[in-house]
Amino acid sequence: MADTRTTGIPAKVTQGAKSKGGIGESTLRPDGTLKVTGEFAYSSDMWHEDMLWGQILRSTVAHAEIVSIDTSEALATAGVHAVLTHEDLPAAKNYGMEYQDTPVLAYGKVRHHGEPVALVAADHPETARRAAAKIRIEYRELPLITDEASALAPDAILVHEDRGDHHAGHVTHPNIVHRQPIIRGNAAEAAKRADVIVTGEYTFGMQDQAFLGPESGLAVPAEDGGIDLYVATQWLHSDLKQIAPCLGLPEEKVRMTMAGVGGAFGGREDISMQILASVLALRTGKPVKMVYNRYESFFGHVHRHPAKLHYEHGATKDGKLTHMKCKIVLDGGAYMSSTPSVVGNAASLSVGPYVVDDVEIEAIGLYTNNPPCGAMRGFGAVQACFAYEAQMDKLAAKLGMDPVEFRQKNAMEQGTIMPTGQPVDSPAPVAELLRRVKARPMPPERQWESSEGADVRALPGGLSNTTHGEGVVRGVGYAVGIKNVGFSEGFDDYSTAKIRLEVINGEAVATVHTAAAEVGQGGVTIHAQIARTELGVQQVTIHPADTQVGSAGSTSAGRQTYMTGGAIKNSCSLVREKVLEIGRRKFGSYHPAWASAELLLEGGKVVTDGGEALASLVDVLEDEAVEIEEEWRHRPTQPFDLVTGQGNGHVQYAFAAHRAVVEVDTELGLVKVIELACAQDVGKAINPLSVIGQIQGGTTQGLGVAVMEEIIVDPKTAKVKNPSFTDYLIPTLLDTPTIPVDYLELADPNAPYGVRGIGEAPTLSSTPAVLAAIRNATGLELNKTPVRPEHLTGT
């Protein structure tokens, strides 16, 4: 696939500019071959002598009082070591990332389908499963809260009766988790200037992260009464803060180590089996392994918030946006998870990458009895982008303008003021990204035709052989999006890096120790690249991630290269200073250049900025090791005002644009995406190959929710209807088009090396671009994603 690269103003890098395997190179992943050949040890592959298997019994109803739980028959099963309910929990009974409203095991009530109610440990997983099935639970079912109307009715039953969280005080109904309005300018007044006004109601379905490695881990009881916990997660220290109180242990007695992660996409940011396996291990005194199967995994993590979005935009005849009003309703499901932050994102990014001075925005997150929703790649910005980009096309059509030109006319740029009042203070090449995807040559028409007949692989329906060209119409669509990078709204977002430099076997070796979760994003290459660049050494050891070092924060929000990369860069530069100090002490008197402030580490040596070698690191360090552990923060942010939404809430923005080319079988309603070209500003590509991989992956995940991915919840029962890969479909290779990537490197002066978070932005614009292309092919309005054959055929 063709990839092009454009360099803007380079970040000032002098140290390490000549380092081999440093930043800017596509060094290969050390775990790549292992993963491709099936040798990599994932968290589900762990084994311990004498270990037991944990099994959860989950609720079969979505909302009910628990009348009774009878575990006697399960306990009597041969091979069963423990059967636990909430009564057996040793300490705190709730956990949660932002607020501890989620029961470890349900007590009093269950609030969604698939909520953990009881827990079994047995010497074989099948024994554990069978014993769990023998637990008798009597439920008294309660009315269901399933949508905005049922949640906000004046007499609605409350999903949580006694809310103690910090949002409880300002929301307008107790079934609203959080509400974020943003008012800027005067939308009503500005609307009078509009020559055209368009409105739309949009529905975004519930997407699943669908990571391939199910939730799993191993808890080993330790002699000191603590726990050693090996688990695949996105943020060790956030887990630790939630786990320790539930075990009644001090944090230092819960020692966590990252196990092999098979994908995350936000779905491992919340706790899954961590507390449950630990409770069983403490109770039985034996190591306990837990592995969800695919079915359970669909209940084992939060999903992307489904949303209903109402938008109104106005524009003048010459194509300038006048105002925007929107209301975004996000379904948070039964527990809070990260819903408040998703609400903040949806509200603050609801305008998209456009200049609109007069806005009235309201975003709310609901408590319902649907499955809990929380973090997923794109985090609130995805749903908004789907809606505002549909609006842009509607406006352009109504004005008779080209949809790309219309967007470019209104595109934000550096200096634009966000609806929150925050200025965009680094490059925002929105118009340029659109120009680039539009300027690409179109993929050839009728690629399915060959001398041997139709190649069905190139047609909608693929190998299912549904068309040989009949009914097939091509469509083209564009979209662009804006995503914040890092944790926003005043969160104290930091990462920690411990760097050690020492001589081993006659060579200077750096060890990088962080708690950063490698979930596939490529930290394993990037961390070593940064250490090589900053310390001028070749050998870098990446220490396993664990809680013996300070928090790295979450591997999410596009923040890990920025944040842990920044922490490594910072700690390395402190190590460098220390090394130079040692060098000056030892050798300063031999050469006047040691007095210069501009000394660099390169090729295992201390060199002057003119390239003259002063001493080797081996001679400087001898048997002395230099080790620094230091926290590193991005610039502070502010919360959004609860009435006006004003505040410098975000750290950085990422921008991506897509052009989708689709072919639709208009009679059968089947879609083949032919090409999904992306242009994105990445600030600085630390590892270009990883950058392209991230953009192509994000693009594909956006395609998935455009045409197939949806967790279907029965509105009558609030039960999940398709918890399997038979019926929750994700794109196969034949569904994945050519994804040419064109990336810009316009440095953000506030970020280390100028980097910009890259993983999320392509997930935003991919979905609306595909939708726009399908609309272009069919002439249908299509206000819901995913698009199903029924929507395209009117059946």
Partner 1 sequence: MDFLRPASWEEALAAKAEHPTAVPIAGGTDVMVEINFDHRRPEYLLDLNRIAELREWETGEETVRLGASVPYTRIMEELRTELPGLALASHTVASPQIRNRGGVGGNLGTASPAGDAHPALLAPGCEVEVESVRGSRLIPIDDFYTGVKRNALAEDELIRAVHIKKADGPQQYSKVGTRNAMVIAVCAFGIALHPETRTVRTGIGSAAPTPIRAKAAEEFLNAALEEGGFWESKKIITPSIAKQFAELASGAANPIDDVRGTANYRRHAVGIMARRTLGWTWESYRGTSRGSTEGVA
- CB of residue 793 to partner 1, shortest distance in Å: 6
Comparing CB distances to partner 1, the nearer of 37 and 505 is 37
Contacting partner 1 (CB under 8 A), which of 670, 686, 747, 772? Answer: 670
Distance (Å, whole) CA 355 – CA 420:
12
Contacting partner 1 (CB under 8 A), which of 6, 60, 94, 293? Answer: 293
Binding mask 390-419 for partner 1 (x = CB under 8 A): ------------------------------
Comparing CB distances to partner 1, the nearer of 142 and 712 is 712
- CB of residue 295 to partner 1, shortest distance in Å: 7
User: Does residue 789 interact with partner 1 by CB under 8 A?
Assistant: yes
Comparing CB distances to partner 1, the nearer of 148 and 709 is 709
Residue 774 contacts residue 671 (beta carbons within 8 Å): yes
Comparing CB distances to partner 1, the nearer of 14 and 795 is 795
Query: 735 burial class (0-12, 13-18, 19+ CB within 10 angstroms)?
Result: middle
Give the HSE-up count for residue 377: Cα atoms under 13 Å, Cβ half-sphere. 30
Q: Which stretch binds partner 1 (CB under 8 A): 152-160, 502-510, 723-731, 767-775?
A: 723-731
- CB of residue 41 to partner 1, shortest distance in Å: 22
**Binding residues among 447-476 for partner 1 as defined by CB under 8 A:** 452-457, 460-468, 470-471
Contacting partner 1 (CB under 8 A), which of 486, 669, 752, 768? Answer: 669
Residue 181 contacts residue 644 (beta carbons within 8 Å): yes
Comparing CB distances to partner 1, the nearer of 405 and 449 is 449
Comparing CB distances to partner 1, the nearer of 623 and 790 is 790
- CB of residue 708 to partner 1, shortest distance in Å: 6
Comparing CB distances to partner 1, the nearer of 155 and 790 is 790
Distance (Å, whole) CA 347 – CA 373:
17
Comparing CB distances to partner 1, the nearer of 58 and 129 is 129
- CB of residue 722 to partner 1, shortest distance in Å: 5
User: Does residue 702 interact with partner 1 by CB under 8 A?
Assistant: no
User: Does residue 667 interact with partner 1 by CB under 8 A?
Assistant: yes
Residue 392 contacts residue 761 (beta carbons within 8 Å): no
Distance (Å, whole) CA 51 – CA 53:
7
- CB of residue 461 to partner 1, shortest distance in Å: 7
User: Does residue 726 interact with partner 1 by CB under 8 A?
Assistant: yes
CB atoms within 10 A of CB 97: 23
User: Does residue 721 interact with partner 1 by CB under 8 A?
Assistant: yes
Contacting partner 1 (CB under 8 A), which of 735, 738, 780, 784? Answer: 735
- CB of residue 114 to partner 1, shortest distance in Å: 15
- CB of residue 298 to partner 1, shortest distance in Å: 12
Q: Which stretch binds partner 1 (CB under 8 A): 323-331, 515-523, 680-688, 784-792?
A: 784-792
Q: Which residues pair with 670 in a beta bridge?
A: 665
Residue 324 contacts residue 315 (beta carbons within 8 Å): no
Distance (Å, whole) CA 471 – CA 325:
38
The footprint of partner 1 on this chain (CB under 8 A) covers a number of residues equal to 44
Distance (Å, whole) CA 399 – CA 401:
5
Comparing CB distances to partner 1, the nearer of 722 and 738 is 722
Q: Which two tokens mark 217?
A: 């881990």
Quote the strand ranges of 415-471, DSSP E: 449-450, 453-454
Residue 479 contacts residue 769 (beta carbons within 8 Å): yes
- CB of residue 430 to partner 1, shortest distance in Å: 32
User: Does residue 729 interact with partner 1 by CB under 8 A?
Assistant: yes
User: Does residue 790 interact with partner 1 by CB under 8 A?
Assistant: yes
Q: Which two tokens mark 612?
A: 């003259």
Distance (Å, whole) CA 715 – CA 499:
53
User: Does residue 58 interact with partner 1 by CB under 8 A?
Assistant: no
Comparing CB distances to partner 1, the nearer of 173 and 468 is 468
Binding mask 111-130 for partner 1 (x = CB under 8 A): ------------------x-
User: Angle at Cα 513 formed by Cα 512 and Cα 517, nearest 5°?
Assistant: 110
Peptide bond preceding 125 in cis form (omega within 30 of 0): no
Comparing CB distances to partner 1, the nearer of 455 and 624 is 455
Reference 198, options 357, 328, 388, 347; nearest CA is 388
- Which residue's structure tokens are 């809070």? 336
User: Does residue 507 interact with partner 1 by CB under 8 A?
Assistant: no
Q: What are phi and psi of 81, to 5 degrees?
A: -100, -25
Comparing CB distances to partner 1, the nearer of 172 and 450 is 450
- CB of residue 303 to partner 1, shortest distance in Å: 16
Q: Where are the alpha helices (DSSP H) in 476-557?
A: 523-535
Residue 88 contacts residue 345 (beta carbons within 8 Å): no
Comparing CB distances to partner 1, the nearer of 129 and 474 is 129
Dihedral, CA of residue 703, residue 519, residue 306 and residue 241, to nearest 10: -170
**Binding residues among 254-283 for partner 1 as defined by CB under 8 A:** none
Distance (Å, whole) CA 117 – CA 750:
47
Comparing CB distances to partner 1, the nearer of 481 and 731 is 731
User: Does residue 203 interact with partner 1 by CB under 8 A?
Assistant: no
Distance (Å, whole) CA 611 – CA 607:
6
Distance (Å, whole) CA 472 – CA 777:
9
* Residue 140 three-state SS: strand
- CB of residue 36 to partner 1, shortest distance in Å: 16
Comparing CB distances to partner 1, the nearer of 732 and 750 is 732
**Binding residues among 127-146 for partner 1 as defined by CB under 8 A:** 129
User: Does residue 72 interact with partner 1 by CB under 8 A?
Assistant: no
Reference 432, options 449, 412, 446, 455; nearest CA is 412
DSSP 261: P
Q: Are strands 494-504 and 472-485 parallel, antiparallel or unpaired?
A: unpaired
Cα–Cα distances (Å) from 551 to 313, 633, 782, in that order, read 43, 12, 44
Q: Where are the alpha helices (DSSP H) in 111-162?
A: 125-133, 148-152
- CB of residue 704 to partner 1, shortest distance in Å: 10
Q: What are phi and psi of 751, to 5 degrees?
A: -110, 150
User: Does residue 36 interact with partner 1 by CB under 8 A?
Assistant: no
Chain contacts with partner 1 (rule: CB under 8 A): 129, 293, 295, 452-457, 460-468, 470-471, 667-670, 672, 707-708, 712, 721-722, 724, 726-727, 729, 731-735, 788-790, 793, 795
